[in-house]
Chains A and B, each alone.
Chain A
Amino acid sequence: SKRTGYCENRMSFLSVREISPKVRSINPTELEPLVKRAAQIKTELTQGVRKSYKDVIDVCWGDPHRGGVKPLTFVRQVLAACMYPQLIHSDKLPVDVRRRAQRLLDVCDGESVGSYTATAGIPYIRSNLARFISRRDGGVPSSPENIFLSSGSQISLTHVLKLLIHNQASLPIGVLTPMSTYSTFKMAVEGLGGAVIPYYLEEERGWELRVEELRRVLREFKDVCNPVALYVINPGNPTGHVQSRTSIEEVIRFAAEERLFLMADEVYQDSIFGEDTEFVSYKKVLSEMGPPLSHQVELASFHSVSKGFMGECGLRGGYVELVNLDPEVKKYIYNIFLTDSSPAVTGQLALDLMVNPPRPGDPSYPVYAQVRPIKIILWKLMPQRNILEVLNNIPGISCQPITGGAFILPRLHLPQGAVRKAEELGMQPDLWYCKLLLEEAGVCVGPGCEYGQKEGTYHIRLRVLTPVDTMEEVLRRLKNFHLNFLKEFS
C-alpha cells in the first residue's frame, strides 16, 4: 500500500520476531488511544458534529500549560533573548532579563544556544544547581560533580536504570515501584529487561507509603528476581501524597537494611499545597540521619522544570544528583550520558532560571512574586478541598485528600453490572469508564489501570493544576455522567 509504505504478502526483513524481546515486553500505555480519540472528537466538533457538549476537556495529561497555566514571564523573556540576542540590545525587555540572558550566553560556546554543551551540562549551571540544592536542604553540601543534566528527567531516570539493570544473571533485576505510578517509568524498567516489583500505597491512609508493605513485597519477589533498587515518588504521582520526614527515614533505613539503591523522584517538590505540609528532600533527611547511613545509602534524586511553578514540560530540562556512589562506578556515569551528546540547551537554561529566579529589588521581581508561589497558583485554581468535597459527594466516588503533586486519584465504586459489562468487552473497567466519559461527556481523564492499583479497585486520574472554570465544568460533567452511569448499571 503506497499510503503506509508497506507491501502486504511479503516476508519482512525485520519482523516482530527479530525485535528485542525487552522492547516487546514493554506494556504499552492506555493513554495514547484515549488521547487520540479525544483529538478526533475535537476535530468532529469543529466540523459541526452534534454532541451533548461543546468542547473536549483534557485533564489527563500532567501538563500545566496545556491545562491553561501560563508560563512565567521572566523565564520566557530570558529564553527569547538567548535565542535571538538582538533582544538583549533592545529596551523592550527589563534590564535584569537582558543581563541574565547575556550571562547565560557567556557560558554557551560561541555565545550561542545552538552549540553543544559539555555532556553533563553547562558547568556554570551545574554549579548553580548545586548551590540551589544546598540552600533547599538547609546547608547540606552539594557538589556539581555529582549533578548530571538531561533532556528531561525521564532520560536521567532511564540512564540510572541502565547502570543498575543487566541481564547477566538468571534472575531479572528487580526495581520496587509504587502502585500507583505513571506508566513510562514501568516501561523504562521493562525495556531494559528489568522486573517491576509493585508495592501498594495505603489508599485509606491518604496513599501512605508503609515499610511493612515494602517488606512484604520483597519477601514475595525474592525468588523471582534480584531486587536492586527502590523507586519512590515524593510528592506522589498520581496519588498526591507527600511523605513525612518519619516516613522518609523509615524508607532510608529499609533501603540500607535490604541493600537497595534508592531512586527518589522529586519532580513535584514545588507543588505543595497542604496547609501544614512541607517537602523535605531524601538527601536532607539522609544527611541528618548521620553516619553510618549518611555515608552509605546510595541515592539518586531527580528534579525537572516540567512540573511545579515552571510547568515547562516541552523544554525538556531535568537533572539527577547522585549521592554516595562508588567512586569507581562514578567514572562510568559519564559514559551513559555520552550517546545523548549533550542535553537540550533550552532545558538547561530553564533549569538555571528555576533555581535562580528574580530577587527582591530586581525589575522582574514584582510580576514574578505575584505568580510564582504554587499556593497562589492553586488559589487561582480551584482549591483542592473544594474539589475533594465535590468528588466525595458524588455517590459511588470516594477520594483521599491531596497535599502535593499535580493530580487527584478518586476511587470509583463501580456496580457489579458495570464490571461485568467491561469484562464482556475485554476491557479494564476503569478504562471502559474513561472511554464512555470521553464519548458522552467530553472529558478526558486517565484510567487507574494505567498507573497500577489494588486488584478489584478502580480509579480515575485528574489533573488539578487546571483553571477554576475548567475544573468546575469537569466536575459538573463528571457528576452528571456518573449518576447516569449508576442508574444504567445498578
Chain B
Amino acid sequence: MTENGLGHREKVLNMNTMNPNVKRVEYAVRGPIVQRAVQIEKELKEGVKKPFSEVIKANIGDAHAMGQKPITFFRQVVALCAYPDLLEDNKFPDDAKNRARRILQSCGGGSLGAYSASTGIEVIRQDVARYIEKRDGGIPSNPDNIYLSTGASDAIVTMLKLLTSGEGKTRSGVMISIPQYPLYSAALAELAAVQISYYLDEDKCWGLDVSELRRAVEAAREHCKPRALCIINPGNPTGQVQSRQCIEDVIRFAAEERLFLMADEVYQDNVYAEGCQFHSFKKVLFEMGPEYSNTVELASFHSTSKCYMGECGFRGGYMEVINMDPQVKLQLTKLVSVRLCPPIPGQVLLDLVVNPPRPDEPSYATFIKERTANLEILAEKAKLTEQIFNTVSGIRCNPVQGAMYTFPRLTLPEKAIAAAKEKGQAPDMFYCMKLLEETGICLVPGSGFGQRDGTHHFRMTILPATEKLKIVLENIRAFHKRFTEEFS
C-alpha cells in the first residue's frame, strides 16, 4: 500500500509488457565486471585502501583511453572544420586548411552542424570509394554502394535488422564465429533472430575450417533459415588474420549455401605477425572471377575506431555493399534514413582516414611517423604479450597476429570451478572478478565471447602503454600463480 492508501498501481511499462527481447541482450565488454571496475574507481577516489592504486581497464578496445595520442593532422582538420576562423591562423598547415575548406564546402551552410544526407556526405562517400579502389588494386568501387554510419556497429546492426524475418522455424539464422565480438549476439538477441555458432579452431591459431561452417549450417537448417555469415577479420577477440586461402573457402561456402556475407574489417591495418597479411573480402572475391564476383552478396565494414587512429568517440564508419539486390538496396536506404544521419565530425574523420596526407604534402612526414609508430608499438606489445603469457604455467596464448586483443586459454583448478559454480558464476568470470579485486586489472571473461564447453579464457587488450603493459602482465602472472595455489 502506498501512503495515500490507494494500493500499488501497476506500471504501463512493466516486466510483463516490456519487449521481452530486451532481456536477452548482453554485452560482456561493458557488462557486470566493468560496472564493478567503475565502482572500485569511485572507492579509490574516496580514499578506500586497496592493494593497487588504479584500475586498469584492459577490457575495451579504446586506444586513446590507454594513452595513445591522436593523429595530429586529423585533429587539425576537424578543429578547422569546427571553428573555421582558425583558417586564418598560420599555425595550421596549408594541406590541413585545404582539406577543411573542401569538406566545409560540402556541408550544408558550410557548417558541421547541418544534417547530411542519411547515407553520408557525397564527396566523402566518393573518397571512401577511391580509397577502397586503391586498397584493392584497382577493383572498381561505386560510391552509391557506400553507406556512412555511426561507427561500424550502426551499419552492422542495420544490416542485421534488414535481414531478420520469420517466426519459429522460418526465423532468420545468422552465422557468427565463436569466440565473437558480442555486438553480434546482442543484436541478434534483440532482433529475435537465430544465432548459428561456428567454432574457430584454437589449436590452429583460431583458424577457420569450412567443414565446421558446413556442420553448423546443416544443423541450423533444422530450426531456422540461415541467411547470413558474419566473419571478423582480423579477428576479435582472437586476433587471427585469416589466410587468403581461408577467405576464398569462406566465399565459396557462402556462394554454395547462398548466404549473405558480412565481413567486419575494422582492424584491417592492425596486422603484426610475420607472414600475415590483410586480404579484403572484396578483393579476393573479385580475383576469384565472375562466377563469384557477379553473384556473392557481400557487405564489408570499416570504422575510425581502431587501426592506427583509434578515434572511437567520433563514431565514424562505413559499409560497402556488393551485388545487393536493387530492391533490397532500396529498403536499406529507406532504413538508414530513419536515424537521420551519422555525426558529421565522424564523417569528416573518416574522410581523413581514407584521404590522408600524400607524400608531396607538408603534413606527410609527421603523419607517416605517427602512423608507423602507433602500429609498430602495437606489434611490439602483441609479441610481448604472447611471450610473457606463454611463460605462465596454466596460461596458453596463441600468437596475436592482428587486431588489439589477446584471448589466452586458462587452465583452472577443479576447486576454483566448483567455487565459481557455487557463486553462480562462469569460472572465467569468477577468475576475472578476483583478478579485478586483487590487482585492479579489468579484463573480460571468455564466457562473454563464447568458447568451447569446458574451456576458459579471458580477453585482454594490448593497448596499455608498454611499461604499464609489462606491469599488467607481471601482475596477471603473479595472480595466476596465487589463484592456482589457493584452489589446489
Contacts and interface: CB of A to CB of B under 8 A. Distances in A.
A344 B13 CA distance: 28
B27 A314 contact: no
Interface stretch (A15-23, A234-242, A397-405): A15-23
Given A12-B297, A15-B328, A67-B109, A84 B75 contact: yes
A2 B140 contact: yes
Given A2-B140, A336-B25, A316 B342 contact: yes
Nearest to B91: A90
A84 B70 CA distance: 9
Contacts of B395: none
A209 B318 CA distance: 41
A329 interface: yes
B138 interface: no
Contacts of A212: none
Contacts of A291: 3-4
Contacts of B263: none
B163 A338 contact: no
Given A15-B328, A108-B313, A66 B108 contact: yes
B346 A165 contact: no
A191 B118 CA distance: 16
Contacts of B23: 332, 335
A6 B326 contact: yes
Interface string A54-84: 0000000101111111110000110111011
A260 interface: yes
A339 B183 contact: yes
Given A20-B164, A61-B115, A314-B112, A5 B83 contact: no
Contacts of A127: none
A145 interface: no
B478 interface: no
Nearest to B304: A114
Interface stretch (A135-143, A149-157, A275-283, A360-368): A149-157
Contacts of A3: 142
Contact of A26 (B80, B114, B116, B338): B338
Interface residues of A, number: 104
Contacts of A158: 338-339
Given A10-B295, A155-B339, A335 B25 contact: yes
Interface string B1-16: 0111010010111110
Interface in B283-336: 294-297, 309-315, 321-328, 331, 334-335
Interface stretch (B151-159, B367-375, B428-436, B446-454): B151-159
* B-side interface size class: 35 or more
A473 interface: no
Interface in A88-129: 90, 92, 108-110, 112-119
Taking each of B67, B114, B183, which has the highest tally of chain A beta carbons within 10 Å of its own beta carbon? B114
B344 A315 contact: yes
A66 B117 CA distance: 12
Nearest to A187: B338
A204 interface: no
B362 interface: no
Given A19-B331, A83-B78, A112 B325 contact: no
A207 B187 CA distance: 40
A344 B315 contact: yes
Contact of B331 (A23, A84, A92): A23
A82 B13 CA distance: 40
A185 B322 CA distance: 30
B65 A115 contact: yes
Contacts of B335: 23, 26, 191
Contacts of A113: 313-314
Nearest to A86: B91
Interface in B135-187: 140, 142, 144-145, 150-151, 153-154, 157, 161-165, 172, 183, 186-187
Contacts of A77: 83
A21 B23 CA distance: 23
Contact of A166 (B19, B68, B89): B19
Contact of B165 (A20, A324, A341, A342): A20
B115 A314 contact: yes
Given A65-B114, A84-B79, A298 B13 contact: yes
A163 B18 contact: yes
A336 B153 contact: no
Taking each of A80, A114, A228, which has the highest tally of chain B beta carbons within 10 Å of its own beta carbon? A114
Contacts of B66: 110
B467 to A, nearest CB: 16
Given A313-B115, A314-B344, A6 B15 contact: no
A311 B113 contact: yes
A114 B313 contact: yes
B22 A109 contact: no
A347 B314 contact: no
Nearest to A7: B294
B403 interface: no
B82 interface: yes
Contacts of A296: 9
Interface in B67-124: 67-68, 70, 75-76, 78-80, 82-83, 86, 89, 91, 107-109, 111-118
A316 B343 contact: yes
B471 interface: no
Contact of A162 (B19, B140, B327): B19
B343 A63 contact: no
Contacts of A329: 11, 13-15, 18
A32 B14 CA distance: 38
A112 B294 contact: no
A63 B11 contact: no
A378 to B, nearest CB: 17
A151 B345 CA distance: 12
Most buried by B among A77, A112, A155: A112
A237 B30 CA distance: 37
A303 B2 CA distance: 32
A68 B109 contact: yes
Given A10-B294, A90-B91, A332-B22, A115 B64 contact: yes
A335 B22 contact: yes
Contacts of A344: 150, 313-315, 343, 345-346
A292 interface: yes
A416 interface: no
A109 B294 CA distance: 45
B378 interface: no
A16 B79 contact: no
Contacts of B325: 6, 12, 14-16
B53 interface: no
A311 B228 CA distance: 40
A370 B63 CA distance: 41
Interface of B: 2-4, 6, 9, 11-15, 17-23, 25-27, 30, 38, 60, 62-68, 70, 75-76, 78-80, 82-83, 86, 89, 91, 107-109, 111-118, 140, 142, 144-145, 150-151, 153-154, 157, 161-165, 172, 183, 186-187, 190, 225, 227-228, 254, 258-260, 294-297, 309-315, 321-328, 331, 334-335, 337-346
Given A5-B324, A14-B260, A166-B20, 17 more contacts: A20-B161, A61-B108, A71-B111, A80-B86, A83-B345, A118-B38, A151-B343, A152-B340, A158-B339, A191-B335, A314-B111, A314-B341, A314-B344, A325-B13, A332-B22, A339-B186, A344-B313
Closest 5 CB pairs of A and B: A66-B108, A314-B344, A345-B313, A109-B65, A84-B79
8 contacts: A4-B326, A13-B295, A32-B337, A69-B109, A79-B79, A115-B62, A187-B334, A316-B315
